[in-house]
């Protein structure tokens, strides 16, 4: 077991949090607020990767069913079992899903071992979701266990939702196999923009998605999805100093990546992006076609790693 870290209790806006830290990174998680990751910091450089609307990072609790737009809009959270609000299987699923707005239960025994293990049970859907977070060196490890506790097969959408502050000299690097994004939602883009398929990274004049540039309009956003990936990874890297955030995960059961780029269209936020590993090419469970449902009583596992580093320190 890795012991090269420290664990401590922290408080954010009066909410109890758990911190894991070492010489490379520091991560803060607040179980009562959907097990939200409210801080992920490169200790060596001091760069905070979690988006905070302002320096005060005021947190508050939401009620089940609230729109995510009414949330603190801080950091990284979990979307499940849908991303956008929709009706599916007779259930009215709320915006961003059922788990981001409710408390998750912290496993105190795991915490004693330096693992932030939290579990949530959906209010409407028959799912229980557990996530275990640990650190080793400059990597954050996230391990998931999903349990269908119902009496029939169930479909679901899961997406990690890391809202990140990006700088003007940052670049988004996707696997070489990515040639196109299937776009599902836009704001403030030209009327003659393609309705669905956008070439990566330059769909049309003035749009350089790898540079987070969405034309001349300073109030624009785009959400798109890759096709199924063989290499499941994505990176945001600074052209100034080579510092990077890299996310990597297993192709099954999550072979897609959602990419959200925002330039002022969402609550006035500038330079915000999210790299969202997911099991579908849509934000709506009602539109999602999953040929392999999770059987009644069955479990499903997946893992993901986030690496914080500097390009000059690694060999390609």
Q: Could you name the CATH architecture of 6-313?
A: Distorted Sandwich (2.70)
| CA distances to 14, 155, 199, 226, 257 from 180, in Å | 44, 26, 4, 7, 12
Cβ–Cβ < 8 Å for 156, 285? yes
Nearest of 135, 132, 107 to residue 3 by alpha carbon: 135
Q: How far apart are CA 157 and CA 286, in angstroms?
A: 10
For 33, how many CA atoms within 13 A lie in the half-sphere containing its CB? 27
Query: Of all helices (H) and strands (E), which one includes residue 112?
Result: helix 108-112
Compute CA 247 distance to the chain's CA centroid, rounded to the nearest angstrom. 10
Backbone angles phi, psi at 81, to 5 degrees: -95, 15
- Whole-structure pTM value: 0.95
Per-residue pLDDT of the chain (316 residues; tens, 9 = 90+): 556 899 999 999 999 999 999 999 999 999 999 999 999 999 999 999 999 987 778 899 999 999 998 999 999 999 999 999 999 989 999 999 999 999 999 999 999 999 999 999 999 999 999 999 999 999 999 999 999 999 999 999 999 999 999 999 999 999 999 999 999 988 888 777 767 899 999 998 889 999 999 988 888 999 999 999 999 999 999 999 999 999 999 999 999 999 999 998 887 777 899 999 999 999 999 988 877 799 999 999 999 999 999 887 654 3
Q: What is the dihedral of CA 70, 74, 79, 85, to 10 degrees?
A: 20
- Do the Cβ atoms of 101 and 298 come closer than 8 Å? no
Query: What are the domain boundaries of the chain?
Result: 6-313
The pair of structure tokens assigned to 207 is 């749009």
Q: Classify residue 312 by burial, with Cβ atoms within 10 Å: 0-12, 13-18, 19+.
A: exposed
């Amino acid at each position: 077991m890795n012991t090269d870290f420290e664990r401590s209790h922290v408080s954010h806006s009066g909410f109890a949090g758990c911190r894991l830290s070492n010489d490379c990174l520091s991560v803060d998680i607040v179980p009562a607020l959907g097990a939200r990751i409210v801080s992920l910091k490169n200790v060596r450089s001091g760069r905070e990767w979690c988006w905070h609307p302002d320096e005060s990072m005021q947190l508050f609790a939401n009620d089940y069913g609230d729109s995510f737009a009414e949330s603190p809009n801080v950091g990284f959270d979990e979307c499940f079992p849908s991303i956008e609000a929709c009706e599916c299987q007779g259930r009215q699923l709320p915006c961003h899903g059922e788990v981001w707005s409710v408390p998750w239960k912290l496993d105190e025994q795991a915490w004693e071992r330096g693992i932030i293990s939290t579990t949530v049970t959906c209010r409407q859907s028959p799912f229980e979701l557990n996530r275990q977070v640990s650190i080793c060196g400059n990597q954050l490890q996230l391990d998931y266990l999903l349990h269908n506790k119902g009496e029939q097969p169930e479909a679901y959408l899961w997406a990690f939702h890391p809202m990140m502050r990006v700088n003007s000299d940052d670049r988004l690097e996707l696997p070489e196999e990515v040639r196109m994004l299937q776009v599902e939602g836009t704001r403030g883009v030209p009327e003659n923009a393609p309705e669905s398929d956008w070439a990566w990274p330059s769909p049309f004049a003035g749009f350089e998605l790898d540079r987070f540039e969405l034309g001349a309009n300073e109030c624009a956003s785009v959400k798109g999805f890759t096709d199924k990936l063989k290499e499941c990874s994505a990176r945001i890297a600074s052209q100034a100093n080579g510092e990077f955030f890299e996310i990597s995960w297993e192709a099954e059961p999550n072979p897609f990546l959602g990419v959200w780029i925002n330039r002022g269209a969402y609550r006035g936020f500038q330079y915000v992006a999210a790299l969202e590993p997911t099991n579908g090419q849509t934000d709506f469970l009602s539109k999602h076609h999953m040929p392999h449902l999770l059987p009644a009583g069955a479990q499903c596992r997946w893992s993901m790693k986030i690496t914080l580093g500097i390009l000059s320190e690694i060999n390609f």
